[in-house]
Structure 1
């Protein structure tokens, strides 16, 4: 017989929330409900990359074969693609650094169209778990330990454990921090609620690979390797997705003096190709070929969170961008959300209704220091690519420093982190 059921409400149906739902749905003693504010599951943005560490989690969840069908870079231990770095804010650009990702099981970055990536989780989600049009407004602790959920459409629900997967503008995080600030008389917690603008904007777009011309019979470099075109206060990331038919293009432009100022109400807006071209005038021809072929670009204000001192309060827990929304400069946001889901699912699989508090504490002890480290490292990496770090333009020291930013990928294993969390849970139970 299975242990008694407890009810887990997952608010937010993005990559992390759906990964958690798929993982938990395999355990008979856990009832899972996903509440999504939109009318369907969807992702904004075009490309997503993961590293070997995240691929290993997908293998452990039995999902790797499904994801292999929707990537143009299936895992291949014989190759080790990493980023090529070029100095590009001048007509005569040059290569200055190459980072081969240090991975034991799968080398290099594995790239997807973001919607295709999400769809794999959607396809694996059992029927009846997802409810749409359920935008969380607030939650409340009730007698007996239940948590009541109130949604914008006037409906309500109850659960034993609430997981806030509702993104960087998380309603769950906001209420958690306000409540803790009042209970513990820590007004400084209120300063952690709102995401902060990094001072950087990003121009995003998709380029059909057929639109990138060959030069002397050589295809554009981005079709063969992920590229990082670097310049003062600016950089461009480009790599192929959708089985090589499309190049995902992101051009970053920073004004460091504007960091932590107000960005504006709309974080994502349309813009013109001319604006992008003007921003990157005088860049090398190889980079400008990308700029000239981006139709219908969008403009994003890049925000991140300040590191949180906790991810858990009572039986409410944060994960993904709600817990550690980060800038995209390490390509780690999706991977960190998936690792949150894997560790949290592991401890909940080993928990009973009476040990939920201990399970959440085990999750927090395991994930909080790592996720906050990656959040900081991602921010620092963006500075490095634009020569705004203490290493400035000293390529001989800057290159190795950039490579060290990815050390978290190999300092442990996903299995080891899950075992660590389950071990903490069992030690608290006296096992």
Structure 2
């Protein structure tokens, strides 16, 4: 009997990982991506312990990703009325020692390329230039139609196609994304002297704004400034050469301490986009089609848990397929209903909590007004003194 064919839509951060797990369990996954090549968009990504715990189940994958292990996290204030080091935490190191799973940073485009390359070495077909257009469900399968006229039929389909998921649109119709009121402006720069030799990202807080600094381990550091501004499109693209040069010379951040100003002035490019999330879905599936990751529960980045929550989805999905369909044969619709419903029962409360916590963290870090900022700084100092409260910063 031929292996059970599974369509995986979206070759971003989660899709290739899901496809590799399916391949390991005896399925025949095919990975489709609407773009013509791996994306070079995005800055850095944080793989937290809950995410690396999942990735470690694919032998050799973490080594192939080649991330930069994080030991500490620093918190600074650039607010003139209350400047200085607010505190530090060894939470990443303690978590790694307790679980065996590290917190790692890696440049997003590099990780994207590396997971796709590794999936191919594991025998996963990766098909670019295929933009999902429609899904037609049958009693024992799903026919996927792409905009280029190609049609393929699978036993079941999993949508891993992110915030702008076409799989979600096919299942539930168009849904507007909600602007959180915060923009994300960032870049990748040579690591300043202040941060050389450190395995420690940092939050740097100002008035109505905060900056995250994350060494990537290959001589560069990714940075991102989050501030309350009018809505900006979520497209992750460069703001343009002239606007970049103006930002690098004239923005308020040029004179920020702790290496922050140097990061801004030496950035190789500057991207800017709005941060969005969407209304909570009550169900992530319909029939033989399931959503995971940002396609199901997009979140703002303030906990650094987006990719890691997607990996938790993938891990539980594989456990439930093993439970309900151990032979990896073509599952019946009732079998898939049992798998998908059990997945939602566990994962929807968890991811809903993460989305809310991420938005709350973004609101807290970008408070405006000196008095409010001083109170925020006091909260950060208190958090740094309490390991239990520190868990909220990392979402796990």
Q: Give me the whole-angstrom Cα distance separating, in 2, the residues matched to 1:326 and 1:277.
A: 32
- What TM-score do you get using the length of structure 2 for normalisation? 0.84
The within-5 A match list for 1:248-259 is 248-255=222-229, 258=230
TM-align CA RMSD: 2.9
Q: Give me the whole-angstrom Cα distance separating, in 1, the residues matched to 2:340 and 2:72.
A: 36
**Most deviating of 104-113 and 32-41:** 104-113
The match for 1:275 among 230, 233, 247 is 247
Q: Number of paired residues?
A: 372
Residue 108 of structure 2 is aligned to residue 134 of structure 1: no
- Pair 244,6 (structure 1): closer, same or farther in 2 beyond 3 Å: closer
The match for 2:112 among 105, 108, 118 is 118
Q: Which residue of 1 aligns with 2:264?
A: 291
The match for 2:30 among 33, 50, 59 is 33
Residue 14 of structure 2 is aligned to residue 16 of structure 1: yes
The match for 2:87 among 97, 100, 107 is 97
- Determine if contact 2:42/2:108 at 8 Å carries over to the other structure: yes
Cα deviation for residue 337 of structure 1 reads 1.4
Give per-residue Cα distances to partners, 1:292-318, cap 9 Å, x unaligned: 222431212222222222212222111
Q: Give me the whole-angstrom Cα distance separating, in 2, the residues matched to 1:399 and 1:313.
A: 46
Structure 2 counterpart SS, 1:324: coil
- Determine if contact 2:7/2:32 at 8 Å carries over to the other structure: yes
Cα deviation for residue 266 of structure 1 reads 5.3
Cα deviation for residue 5 of structure 1 reads 4.6
- Pair 225,138 (structure 1): closer, same or farther in 2 beyond 3 Å: same
Q: Give me the whole-angstrom Cα distance separating, in 2, the residues matched to 1:70 and 1:379.
A: 30
Cα deviation for residue 202 of structure 1 reads 1.7
Cα deviation for residue 118 of structure 1 reads 2.8
**Most deviating of 362-371 and 220-229:** 220-229
- Determine if contact 2:23/2:124 at 8 Å carries over to the other structure: no
Cα deviation for residue 276 of structure 1 reads 5.4
Q: Give me the whole-angstrom Cα distance separating, in 2, the residues matched to 1:385 and 1:221.
A: 26
Residue 142 of structure 2 is aligned to residue 176 of structure 1: no
Structure 2 counterpart SS, 1:405: helix
What 5-or-longer segments of structure 1 have no aligned partner?
74-79, 179-189, 410-431
Q: Give me the whole-angstrom Cα distance separating, in 1, the residues matched to 2:382 and 2:293.
A: 28
Q: Give me the whole-angstrom Cα distance separating, in 2, the residues matched to 1:265 and 1:48.
A: 17
Q: Which residue of 2 aligns with 1:88?
A: 78
Residue 50 of structure 2 is aligned to residue 53 of structure 1: yes
- Determine if contact 1:81/1:107 at 8 Å carries over to the other structure: no
